[in-house]
């Protein structure tokens, strides 16, 4: 029996877990950070909550006799990824970064790339008075001092501090282009702020912004750590086949 730990509550993490639980001779544990109140659970064994930093994760890998670790966390979950790198090295466990490709601007897009959330806040004055802030619950305090109107969309209600003029919309994607365009029109949005999360689940807002001629402030991803990486679940499965002991799980 080979044992695999999958970090992350992303769609790729769930899809990988679904592939692995069907493979004879493979036991998969999916670990979720616990930041979403009602997460979409992957098949197989699931644990929720942190490990206690890199040291705690390394000890867990040893205790559970994990044969391979796949980091399929959100592209902006840098602290978890850093801990995974350190823990895998200490425990001597092969590690793969599974990360979907980032978005790329196309003809007609008016994107303003910035390196961080504070830089996104600094870029807003002059772009418009009404902002659609679609960056999740983390980092909203960077926008609190701006005298602008914000529509904030998150899966769970955000915690203060928030901008003084804020309307909160709790919703979970995926969303269609028509739904996003209607949202932008109804709220008279002038500018969209988003992280470069990649993937199709939340990309419709970018198409809607292009169709409406709106500028988009895009927070760029932090740099990836060195080491093996994959962009698709199929690539991750192939990597696992290359590092795990050959047996009934292969194929």
Six-digit token string for 220: 């760029």
Mean pLDDT by 10 residues, the chain (251 residues): 93 95 94 76 90 97 98 94 97 97 95 97 97 93 96 93 95 93 98 94 94 98 95 97 70 41
Clarify whether residues 65 and 140 are in a common domain.
Answer: no
| CATH code of the domain in which 59 resides | 3.40.50.720
Helical pair 78-91 and 53-63, crossing angle rounded to 10 deg: 50
Domain that holds residue 120: 111-219
* Residue 201 included in any domain: yes
Can you give the pLDDT at residue 40? Answer: 78
Can you give the pLDDT at residue 248? Answer: 45
Clarify whether residues 66 and 85 are in a common domain.
Answer: yes
User: CB count, 10 Å around CB of 248?
Assistant: 11
Can you give the pLDDT at residue 35? Answer: 67
Clarify whether residues 115 and 214 are in a common domain.
Answer: yes
pTM of the predicted model over 0.85? yes
Clarify whether residues 203 and 119 are in a common domain.
Answer: yes
The Cα 88–Cα 99 span in angstroms is 17
Clarify whether residues 85 and 24 are in a common domain.
Answer: yes
Clarify whether residues 80 and 168 are in a common domain.
Answer: no
Can you give the pLDDT at residue 112? Answer: 97
Clarify whether residues 136 and 198 are in a common domain.
Answer: yes
Clarify whether residues 60 and 132 are in a common domain.
Answer: no
* Residue 16 included in any domain: yes
The Cα 130–Cα 7 span in angstroms is 36
What are the start-end ranges of the H helices in the chain? Answer: 11-21, 53-63, 78-91, 117-123, 177-186, 204-211, 233-243
Can you give the pLDDT at residue 145? Answer: 95
Clarify whether residues 43 and 57 are in a common domain.
Answer: yes
* Residue 249 included in any domain: no
- What is the total count of domains within the chain? 2
Six-digit token string for 234: 């199929």
Can you give the pLDDT at residue 65? Answer: 97
């Amino acid at each position: 029996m080979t044992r695999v730990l999958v970090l992350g509550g992303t769609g790729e993490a769930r899809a990988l877990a679904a592939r692995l639980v069907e493979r004879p001779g493979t036991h998969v544990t999916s670990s979720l950070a616990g930041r979403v109140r009602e997460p979409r659970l992957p098949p197989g064994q699931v644990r929720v909550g942190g490990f206690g930093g890199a040291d705690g994760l390394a000890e867990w890998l040893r205790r559970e006799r994990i044969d391979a670790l796949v980091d399929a966390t959100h592209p902006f979950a840098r602290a978890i990824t850093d801990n995974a790198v350190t823990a895998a090295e200490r425990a001597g466990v092969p590690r793969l970064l599974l990360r979907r490709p980032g978005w790329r601007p196309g003809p007609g897009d008016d994107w303003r790339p910035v390196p961080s959330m504070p830089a996104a806040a600094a870029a807003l004055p002059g772009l418009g008075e009404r902002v659609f802030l679609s960056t999740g619950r983390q980092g909203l305090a960077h926008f609190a001092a701006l005298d602008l109107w914000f529509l904030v969309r998150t899966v769970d209600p955000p915690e203060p501090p928030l901008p003084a003029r804020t309307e909160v919309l709790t919703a979970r994607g995926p969303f269609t282009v028509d739904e996003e365009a209607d949202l932008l029109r109804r709220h008279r949005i002038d500018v969209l702020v988003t992280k470069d999360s990649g993937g199709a689940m939340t990309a419709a807002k970018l198409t809607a912004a292009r169709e409406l001629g709106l500028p988009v402030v895009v927070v760029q991803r932090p740099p990836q750590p060195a080491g093996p990486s994959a962009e698709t679940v199929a690539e991750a499965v192939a990597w696992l086949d290359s590092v795990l002991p050959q047996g009934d799980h292969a194929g």
